[in-house]
Amino acid sequence: MTEAVKRVDQQRHELKALRYLLDSLPDCRTSVRPFPSRDDFQILDCQQIYDAMMRAITQADAIAAIRALDLESTEIESFLSLGGKHYYTYPALVVERGKQFRNRALEIVD
C-alpha cells in the first residue's frame, strides 16, 4: 500500500535536513549518519541546494552558492535565516523517506 505525503510537508522536512547539514558544514559529511544522498531529496529546489552544499568546501562557500541559486518555490533568505541545530533528526528522516519513495511505498501529493 502506498502512503501519501503532501509536497509542502516533504519540502519542509527536506529543508530542515538541509539547514541542519548547512549548520555543520563541512564536518557533517563525516559526522552525520546516515548521511542523505541527493536521491533521498524529492523536491527539485532541495536537490539544487544539496548540490550547492556538496560542491562547497566551507560553509561560507555553500551559503554563497545557495544565494546564487534561482529556486522556484524556496525563499532563499528565509532558508538561510533559520537555525538548524535543532533539526538533527531530519537527515535520517530524509534518508528513510528516500527509501520509501524509491520502493514506491510513499508518494507526493499536491
What SS3 string covers the chain? CCEEEEHHHHHHHHHHHHHHHHHCCCCHHHHCCCCCCHHHCCCHHHHHHHHHHHHCCCHHHHHHHHHCCCCCCCCHHHHHHCCCCCCCCHHHHHHHHHHHHHCCCEEEEC
* pLDDT, tens digit (0-9, with 9 covering 90-100), for 64-75: 999 999 999 999
Residue 3 and residue 107: Cα distance in Å, rounded? 6
- Contact partners, residue 100, CB within 8 Å, separation at least 6: 3, 106
Task: Note the pLDDT of residue 1.
Answer: 78
Show the beta-strand stretches assigned E in the chain.
3-6, 106-109
Task: Note the pLDDT of residue 4.
Answer: 95
* pLDDT, tens digit (0-9, with 9 covering 90-100), for 41-66: 999 999 999 999 999 999 999 999 99
Distance from chain centroid for Cα 47 = 7
